[in-house]
Homo-oligomer: A and B are copies of this chain.
Amino acid sequence: MNLSKRRALLDELVSKGVRLTSQRRALVEVIQEANEHLDAASLLDLARRREPNIDRATVYRTLELLKKLRLIDELDLMHLYGEKHYYEVKSERNHAHLACFRCGRIEEYSSPLFERLKAEIAKQADFTIKVTRLEVGGNCRACGSGVSTGQEDRESRTATALHQ
């Protein structure tokens, strides 16, 4: 990860006239250098290693800010592990997130077809698209089609077992 990439978001913030505090700097760096999808609590943990003086509230407020500036995307990842949100730096081309109900792995998928679909929606529905979120749940390659292996899906978060 090169310096220019690491500073991309920070520079973007400065150029937008956003006030740079040590807390924001820490958070932005953490998000930018992450190589997995992080939720607010993890972001707080990681940011604290750089800047011990940072609070949960600041994390949420900063995420809100970055979202509004459209510098990050908020993901649900099919709510595989509770209702928390995950965050990632917005990239040029957006991608779908494939969430495996069995093993919990998240895979990213981008395709020109997705871009075409977005263009079609914008045109046909006359809709100015600002954010797009495509999440797909199912079974990944490694976990197969998932028919009666007796394995419990990660989807099943309640005790309501299906007797079949």
User: Looking at chain A, what size class is its interface with the partner chain?
Assistant: 35 or more
| Chain B residue contacts of A163, Cβ below 8 A | 17
Q: Which residue of B lies closest to A119 (CB)?
A: B113
Residues of B within 8 A of A157 (CB): 64
For residue A111, give the distance in angstroms from its CB to the closest CB of chain B. 6
**Contact indicator B125/A130 (Cβ below 8 Å):** no
User: Among the listed B69, B132, B137, which residue makes an inter-chain contact with A136, where contact means beta carbons less than 8 Å apart?
Assistant: B132
Is the pair A107, B131 in contact by a Cβ cutoff of 8 Å? no
Are B127 and A131 in touch, CB under 8 angstroms? no
Q: Which chain B residue lies CB-closest to A117?
A: B113
Interface assignment of A51: CB less than 8 Å from any CB of chain B: no
* Cβ of A78 under 8 Å from chain B: yes
Say yes or no for A54: interface residue by CB 8 A criterion: no
Q: Which of A4-12, A25-33, A139-147 contacts B (4 or more CB under 8 A)?
A: A139-147
Contact A128 B144 (CB under 8 A): yes
B128–A145 contact, CB under 8 A? Answer: yes
Q: How far is the CA of A15 from the CA of B96 in the complex (A)?
A: 35
How far apart are A58's CB and chain B's nearest CB, in angstroms?
Answer: 11
